[in-house]
Amino acid sequence: MLSINNIEVVYDNVILVLKGVSLEVQAGAITTLLGANGAGKTTTLKAISGVLGTERGNVTKGSITFDGKRIDGMRPFDVTKLGVSQVFEGRRVFEHLTTEENLIAGGHVQRDSRKIHGGIERVYAYFPQLKARRQQQSGYLSGGEQQMLAIGRALMSEPKVMLLDEPSLGLAPMLVEEIFGIVQRLVAQEKLSVLLVEQNAVMALAVAQHGYVMETGRIVLEGSVQKLRDNSDIREFYLGLNEVGSRKSYRDVKHYKRRKRWLS
């Protein structure tokens, strides 16, 4: 459904951030992209959704295709109309607007008011907490409610693919489980495909079907989530487990030096 083919991304015509990244988002499934801060995960999402230009970034090599159509270089509005929506890191709701006004803004690609109304009701069905706060300014919502609103706002454009950037950021574990549970329902009931960027590797590998690992702008490992869970490097670097399955100490992690064995 969505394919990234050997792309390079450069900022300010100088800084090379992505160095030949290739990945595929499987239809009707959750595909996760793991990696440390600064690896290039968010840049990958922005390359797909077309918002790189707002940060003086460009795809200088390779291609991105969606449903067989090349979308790299397209305007964000046009990418959204095709069926790709991004939920940004940090939620970024319009704090001065009410919950419902945020949802209406998310339906900006719709030209039929009935579709907008139907979309709002669909969001409320998945997130009943938002319906109870439909007239409340979103800046006063809790962090979990704002994350629900950000996902609901993205749903308003009726996407085929949703790009989720760090949805667990700053949330309590119970809220994280609730939100990921709803994402799984969306995939199952709405036939949605999801590309999930997440530093919580345990949760990401629990909900995804396929995964990629990114290091310094390159994909260094990919495979089914079971393959990734069984990989000793993933267990040590991302799950914090040693060879016998026990948690590594903070001291071990702090002084750890990566062994570059990914491609061996």
pLDDT digit string, tens, across residues 97-154? 999 999 999 988 888 888 899 999 999 999 999 999 999 999 999 999 999 999 999 9
The full set of domains in the chain, from first to last, is: 2-95+159-230 (3.40.50.300), 233-264 (no CATH)
Q: Provide, rounded to the nearest whole percent, the portion of the chain with pLDDT above 70.
A: 91
Average pLDDT over residues 87-105: 93
Cα distances (angstroms) measured from residue 30 to each of 179, 180, 181, 183, 236:
14, 11, 12, 9, 23
pLDDT digits (tens, 9 = 90+) for 204-237: 999 999 999 999 999 999 999 999 988 888 888 7
Contact 160, 85 (CB under 8 A): no
**Could you tell me whether strands 84-87 and 69-70 are parallel, antiparallel, or unpaired per DSSP bridges?**
unpaired
3-class state of residue 176 by DSSP: helix
10 Å CB burial of residue 128 (0-12, 13-18, 19+) is: exposed
pLDDT band with cut points at 50, 70 and 90 for residue 252: very low
pLDDT, position 247: 52
Instruction: Map residue 132 onto helix, strand or coil.
Output: helix
